[in-house]
Amino acid sequence: MNGRAKSHGLLYVRRSSSRQEASLLQQLNWAVTKASELDVVLDVNTDDLNHMIENRLSCHKSMYLDDGVTGADLDRPGFQAFCAAAKANRQISHLFVHHTDRFARPEIVTQALNTQVELQYDGICFVFNDRMALPMARGTINVGDVITSLISLHESGEFLNKLAQRIVDTKTSLAMGGYW
């Protein structure tokens, strides 16, 4: 492993719509707690998040935000700035993203996987709520990690399709039972 020295982290938060009221705060609170556990500096707090939302900012301090933007679009301003800042600043050792579906939910999962792996090759550790994707040395590949990431990205896209089908099935069943 050819990781950067443990130092500072960046946080990426995203919600697809403003109806997900608590989502951003939950992502922030998780990241602050996790960074503390890992002894990584993450310079963000609730006031920073509120400032970003009120001023429609995509980046502020160590936090990057896309608010009301689909994860299928990899050209999101906050996402692009997050990835660029991680590559440019050698002090950044960890990237915090609550769920894989917050990172990306692309139709072509290999696009998001390539972005993640390139950052891992730059010596950066990804921290998700359910796993960590460790840095990789060029010329090597952690097949298990790449497969896990690929499956996780695929599932994040499939979730929406399955949810939509469950909603349609439930409404159909209720209508057939005389309910509306």
pLDDT tens, position by position, 25-61: 999 999 999 999 999 999 999 999 999 999 999 999 9
Question: How is residue 13 written in tokens?
Answer: 């938060």
Predicted local distance difference test score (pLDDT) of residue 86:
97
CA–CA gap between residue 127 and residue 177 (Å, rounded):
46
Gyration radius from the chain CA atoms: 18
Predicted local distance difference test score (pLDDT) of residue 137:
87
* Of the candidates 155, 162, 157, 136, the residue with the CA atom closest to the CA atom of residue 2: 136
CA–CA gap between residue 39 and residue 51 (Å, rounded):
25
CA–CA gap between residue 139 and residue 160 (Å, rounded):
35
Report CA 130 to chain centroid distance, whole Å: 12
* Of the candidates 86, 120, 99, the residue with the CA atom closest to the CA atom of residue 9: 86
Predicted local distance difference test score (pLDDT) of residue 151:
73
Predicted local distance difference test score (pLDDT) of residue 112:
80
Ranges of residues in the chain whose predicted pLDDT is under 50: 159-160, 162-163
Question: How is residue 92 written in tokens?
Answer: 């950044």
Predicted local distance difference test score (pLDDT) of residue 177:
75
- Backbone torsion region of residue 120, taken as left when φ is above 0, otherwise alpha when ψ lies between -120 and 50, otherwise beta: alpha
